[in-house]
Protein backbone atom coordinates (compact mmCIF):
# COMPACT_ATOMS: atom_id res chain seq x y z
CA UNK A 1 0.00 0.00 0.00
CA UNK A 2 1.24 3.50 -0.79
CA UNK A 3 2.52 5.46 2.17
CA UNK A 4 0.29 8.42 1.32
CA UNK A 5 -3.35 8.36 0.22
CA UNK A 6 -4.46 9.83 -3.10
CA UNK A 7 -6.14 12.64 -1.17
CA UNK A 8 -2.95 13.56 0.65
CA UNK A 9 -1.07 13.63 -2.65
CA UNK A 10 -3.82 15.68 -4.30
CA UNK A 11 -3.89 18.31 -1.53
CA UNK A 12 -0.09 18.36 -1.44
CA UNK A 13 0.20 18.88 -5.19
CA UNK A 14 -2.79 21.19 -5.52
CA UNK A 15 -3.26 22.85 -2.16
CA UNK A 16 -6.52 24.79 -1.75
CA UNK A 17 -6.71 28.25 -0.19
CA UNK A 18 -2.98 29.00 -0.24
CA UNK A 19 -1.79 32.52 0.41
CA UNK A 20 -2.38 35.57 2.52
CA UNK A 21 -5.79 37.03 3.31
CA UNK A 22 -5.25 40.79 3.29
CA UNK A 23 -8.46 41.54 5.17
CA UNK A 24 -8.13 38.72 7.71
CA UNK A 25 -9.46 39.53 11.17
CA UNK A 26 -8.05 36.43 12.86
CA UNK A 27 -4.53 35.11 12.33
CA UNK A 28 -2.93 32.10 13.98
CA UNK A 29 0.61 30.85 13.65
CA UNK A 30 2.03 27.71 15.16
CA UNK A 31 5.33 25.95 14.85
CA UNK A 32 6.51 22.50 15.68
CA UNK A 33 9.73 22.80 17.66
CA UNK A 34 10.76 19.26 16.75
CA UNK A 35 10.69 19.49 12.95
CA UNK A 36 10.77 23.29 12.68
CA UNK A 37 7.71 23.47 10.41
CA UNK A 38 5.48 26.55 10.61
CA UNK A 39 1.81 27.01 9.72
CA UNK A 40 -0.11 30.27 9.53
CA UNK A 41 -3.89 30.48 9.12
CA UNK A 42 -5.78 33.63 8.09
CA UNK A 43 -9.50 33.90 8.80
CA UNK A 44 -12.05 36.41 7.60
CA UNK A 45 -14.90 36.15 10.09
CA UNK A 46 -18.26 37.83 9.68
CA UNK A 47 -21.29 37.29 11.91
CA UNK A 48 -19.56 34.34 13.57
CA UNK A 49 -19.07 32.58 10.24
CA UNK A 50 -15.76 31.88 8.51
CA UNK A 51 -16.34 33.71 5.26
CA UNK A 52 -12.85 33.07 3.93
CA UNK A 53 -9.66 31.32 4.94
CA UNK A 54 -6.14 31.04 3.59
CA UNK A 55 -2.95 29.46 4.80
CA UNK A 56 0.80 29.65 4.47
CA UNK A 57 2.71 26.56 5.50
CA UNK A 58 6.45 26.23 5.57
CA UNK A 59 6.66 22.55 6.14
CA UNK A 60 6.42 18.99 5.02
CA UNK A 61 3.96 17.61 2.48
CA UNK A 62 1.68 16.24 5.20
CA UNK A 63 1.53 19.65 6.86
CA UNK A 64 0.64 21.27 3.53
CA UNK A 65 -2.04 18.65 2.80
CA UNK A 66 -3.40 19.00 6.35
CA UNK A 67 -3.59 22.80 6.07
CA UNK A 68 -5.31 22.56 2.71
CA UNK A 69 -7.88 20.02 3.92
CA UNK A 70 -8.46 21.90 7.18
CA UNK A 71 -9.23 25.14 5.33
CA UNK A 72 -11.72 23.29 3.14
CA UNK A 73 -13.39 21.82 6.22
CA UNK A 74 -13.93 25.16 7.97
CA UNK A 75 -14.68 27.49 5.05
CA UNK A 76 -18.22 28.84 5.30
CA UNK A 77 -18.73 27.19 8.70
CA UNK A 78 -19.83 28.84 11.95
CA UNK A 79 -16.97 29.58 14.34
CA UNK A 80 -18.35 27.16 16.93
CA UNK A 81 -18.15 24.35 14.40
CA UNK A 82 -14.65 25.29 13.25
CA UNK A 83 -13.47 25.14 16.86
CA UNK A 84 -14.54 21.51 17.11
CA UNK A 85 -12.29 20.51 14.20
CA UNK A 86 -9.78 17.98 15.44
CA UNK A 87 -6.59 16.75 13.86
CA UNK A 88 -8.30 13.35 13.77
CA UNK A 89 -11.05 14.75 11.55
CA UNK A 90 -8.45 16.34 9.26
CA UNK A 91 -6.56 13.05 9.06
CA UNK A 92 -9.74 11.09 8.34
CA UNK A 93 -10.75 13.54 5.61
CA UNK A 94 -7.34 12.90 4.04
CA UNK A 95 -7.96 9.12 4.19
CA UNK A 96 -5.24 8.82 6.78
CA UNK A 97 -1.64 9.81 7.42
CA UNK A 98 1.26 7.58 8.40
CA UNK A 99 1.59 7.38 12.20
CA UNK A 100 4.81 9.36 12.29
CA UNK A 101 3.08 12.16 10.32
CA UNK A 102 0.04 12.57 12.56
CA UNK A 103 1.69 15.49 14.37
CA UNK A 104 1.57 17.45 11.10
CA UNK A 105 -2.24 17.47 11.25
CA UNK A 106 -2.09 18.72 14.85
CA UNK A 107 -0.54 21.92 13.54
CA UNK A 108 -3.68 22.58 11.45
CA UNK A 109 -6.02 22.14 14.41
CA UNK A 110 -3.91 24.40 16.59
CA UNK A 111 -3.38 27.09 13.96
CA UNK A 112 -7.14 27.38 13.43
CA UNK A 113 -7.78 27.58 17.16
CA UNK A 114 -5.11 30.25 17.52
CA UNK A 115 -6.60 32.28 14.67
CA UNK A 116 -10.05 32.17 16.29
CA UNK A 117 -8.51 33.12 19.64
CA UNK A 118 -6.75 36.04 17.93
CA UNK A 119 -10.10 37.16 16.50
CA UNK A 120 -11.73 36.99 19.95
CA UNK A 121 -8.84 38.89 21.54
CA UNK A 122 -8.82 41.60 18.86
CA UNK A 123 -12.54 42.16 19.22
CA UNK A 124 -12.78 41.99 23.01
CA UNK A 125 -14.99 38.90 22.83
CA UNK A 126 -15.10 36.78 25.99
CA UNK A 127 -14.35 33.09 25.56
CA UNK A 128 -13.62 29.95 27.47
CA UNK A 129 -9.81 29.68 27.55
CA UNK A 130 -9.99 25.98 28.33
CA UNK A 131 -11.20 25.44 24.75
CA UNK A 132 -7.79 26.53 23.49
CA UNK A 133 -4.41 24.88 23.90
CA UNK A 134 -2.18 26.69 26.38
CA UNK A 135 1.05 27.94 24.84
CA UNK A 136 3.20 25.68 26.97
CA UNK A 137 1.02 22.62 26.56
CA UNK A 138 0.59 22.11 22.82
CA UNK A 139 -0.14 18.54 21.83
CA UNK A 140 2.57 18.72 19.19
CA UNK A 141 5.20 19.31 21.89
CA UNK A 142 4.50 15.78 23.07
CA UNK A 143 4.46 14.23 19.62
CA UNK A 144 7.86 13.57 18.22
FE1 LIG B 1 6.88 18.89 10.61
FE2 LIG B 1 5.19 17.50 9.18
S3 LIG B 1 7.26 16.99 9.64
S4 LIG B 1 4.79 19.27 10.31
Q: Are 52 and 75 in contact (CB under 8 A)?
A: yes
pTM over 0.85: yes
Question: What residues are annotated to the active site?
Answer: 35, 104
Query: pLDDT, tens digit, for every residue of 13-23?
Result: 999 999 999 99
49 contacts 79 by C-beta, under 8 angstroms: yes
118 three-state secondary structure: helix
Q: What is the pLDDT of residue 1?
A: 59
* Per-residue pLDDT reduced to its tens digit, 73-114: 999 999 999 999 999 999 999 999 999 999 999 999 999 999
Q: Note the pLDDT of residue 132.
A: 85
Average confidence score pLDDT of the chain: 93
Residue nearest to atom 4 of ligand 1 (CA): 104
Beta-sheet pairing, 49-58 with 26-31: unpaired
Separation of 48 CA from ligand 1 center, angstroms? 30
Amino acid sequence: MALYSEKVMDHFRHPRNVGVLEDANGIGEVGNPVCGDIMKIYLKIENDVIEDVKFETFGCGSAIASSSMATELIKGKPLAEALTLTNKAVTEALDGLPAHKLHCSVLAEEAIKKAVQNYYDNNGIEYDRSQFPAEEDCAHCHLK
